[in-house]
Each structure stands twice: as structure tokens, then as C-alpha cells.
Structure 1
Amino acid sequence: MKIAAAITVLAIAVAGTAAAQTAGDPVKGEKVFQRCKACHSAEKDGADKLGPNLWGVVGRKSASEDGFNYSPAMKAANKTWDAATLDVYLTKPAALVPGTRMAFPGIPSAQDRADVIAYLSGLK
């Protein structure tokens, strides 16, 4: 019984530490997003570039930005860009949506991804 309780406490501590490490900071996320600006705008009425405008992307369905020419793979992806899906996509876009036109290799740092997601979450 004591071992099970100790394992439960350890699991809760590890989960809390992981959550704390991936809490996003939108101010830092805006700085990380600078590397995305070559292909994406993030303004309320911003124009599409090589990639779609990302204003309001969190909660939006994939391939739903009016007027943007998405790849067939992205059109078929049927994703909702919530925090969890964005985290997977930003880790390695081609792994989540094989055939995507997004040539970006991904953001390896979990903290950087969390920060970018926090930044994008505030663009409403």
C-alpha cells in the first residue's frame, strides 16, 4: 500500500513539473514567432503570405482561412488547431500532416512551442 501511494505522489509531482515546464509565455512567444513571420502574418486584417494569416488560428479548423490556397494534404487533414494539436504540428509539421507544403522543420524546444501557442492564443 505504501509503495502504491509513493508511486501516485511521484506521478503527480512529475506531471506538475512537466506542466510547469510547458506553460507558455505570450511575450516570449511573440519573440519566437519572429522566425515564422517570413511566411505568416499574425495581424487581425493581415494578408496571407506564403502561409496563411495566423490571427485567430487557435480554435480554427485546418484549411479554413478564406482565400488561402492550402495543399490537398492540409485540406484533408480535418484538424482543429487547439493547443495540443498545434504542439504536435509545430514539433514537426510533416509528421502530423504528411504532404503539407509547410517546409518548416519544426520547433524542437517544448518551451518555445508553448510560448508560441500562448502568443497565438491571445490573437483574437
Structure 2
Amino acid sequence: MQRLLMIAGTALLAVTAQASAEGDPAKGEKVFKKCAACHAVGESAKNKVGPQLNGVVGAPWGRIEGYKYSKNLVELSDGKVWDEDTLVVYLTKPKDLIPKGKMAFAGLRKEADRDNVIAYLAQFKEDGTTE
């Protein structure tokens, strides 16, 4: 029952939280500083406490080879993709999407911050380039 409620809550968040492709990458770069202690982007990005995030927008869950994802993320990942809607839910409150995940960050409260970070991350291709 608890799992069903969690799934229903996540679905509700996904329906009510809407990602905007209109975020500002420059503002997102500033907000990403909150993420940079654990994640990296760019051509020299390496895994840290969290995986590097090059090419994450539109990518399958758990795709970075060599990074040890939480068992819960792996269990839930079947066919899932980090699309904008999923990223909005995750960036709002990570534990709502992956309850037993490693992510200790509480989330970004402001919708604009989430939209801007997604726009910033969307610039990076899998190899870390932006062009």
C-alpha cells in the first residue's frame, strides 16, 4: 500500500509539475553550483559522489558506466529516461522519485531554478561539449 501511495504521489507530481524548455542556461549555471559538490559537467567531467551529468537530459537512468548507482535507482530504472518532466520531479524532491536513492540533496524549491538547471544541463552532449 505504501508503495502504491508513493507511485501515485510521484505520478501526481509529474502531472502537476511542468518542465519548461524556456529556462535560462546562464542562470542555470549559477544554480548548478549547488550541485557541483557532487556532480560535474563539461569535457573534463568525472564522477564524484554523484555521476557526471553530460548528456543527462533525455538519457536513460543509470547509464554512466563505472558509477555505482543505488540499488533503488537500478530497480526503478527499467526503460525510464531523464526527460524534462522527470527531471522536474526529481529536482523538486529527489526522494519522491527514488525513495531509497543516494541523493542527499533536498531539492530546488523554486520552479525557475529547476527550469534553469535543466536548460543548463541540456546544453551538454554526452562528450561534454556544448556545440
Instruction: Please indicate the TM-score interval, normalised by the length of the shorter structure.
Output: 0.7 to 0.9
Please state how far the C-alpha of 1:22 moved relative to its aligned partner.
7.7
Quote the residue 2:45 is aligned against.
46
For 2:73 and 2:26, locate their aligned partners in 1 and report how far apart those are by CA, in whole Å. Answer: 29
Tell me if the contact between 1:91 and 1:113 (Cα under 8 Å) persists in the aligned partners: yes
Tell me if the contact between 1:29 and 1:118 (Cα under 8 Å) persists in the aligned partners: yes
Which consecutive residues of structure 1, in runs of 5 or more, have no partner in the other structure? 1-18
Quote the residue 1:121 is aligned against.
122
Please state how far the C-alpha of 1:103 moved relative to its aligned partner.
0.5
Query: Structure 1: which 4+ aligned runs deviate by more than 4 Å?
Result: none
For 2:82 and 2:51, locate their aligned partners in 1 and report how far apart those are by CA, in whole Å. Answer: 13
Quote the residue 1:66 is aligned against.
65
Quote the residue 1:14 is aligned against.
none
TM-score by length of 1: 0.80
Quote the residue 2:34 is aligned against.
35
Give aligned pairs, total.
105
Supply the RMSD in Å over aligned alpha carbons: 1.5
Q: Could you list the per-position Cα deviations for residues 89-113 of structure 1 after superposition, in whole angstroms to 9, with x for gaps in the alignment?
A: 0000000111001000000100000
Tell me if the contact between 2:21 and 2:119 (Cα under 8 Å) persists in the aligned partners: no
Aligned counterparts, 1:1-124, within 5 A: 23-78=22-77, 79-124=80-125
For 1:83 and 1:42, locate their aligned partners in 2 and report how far apart those are by CA, in whole Å. Answer: 17
Tell me if the contact between 1:23 and 1:111 (Cα under 8 Å) persists in the aligned partners: no
Which consecutive residues of structure 2, in runs of 5 or more, have no partner in the other structure? 1-17, 126-131
The letter for the 2-side match of 1:115 is N
- Partner SS for 1:106: coil
- Partner SS for 1:35: coil
Tell me if the contact between 1:22 and 1:110 (Cα under 8 Å) persists in the aligned partners: no
> Of Structure 1 and Structure 2, which has the larger fraction of its residues in helix?
1
TM-score by length of 2: 0.76
Please state how far the C-alpha of 1:76 moved relative to its aligned partner.
1.5
| 80 and 22 in structure 1: CA distance in 2 versus 1, 3 angstrom threshold | closer
Q: Could you list the per-position Cα deviations for residues 10-68 of structure 1 after superposition, in whole angstroms to 9, with x for gaps in the alignment?
A: xxxxxxxxx8x883000100110011000001123411000000011111111111100
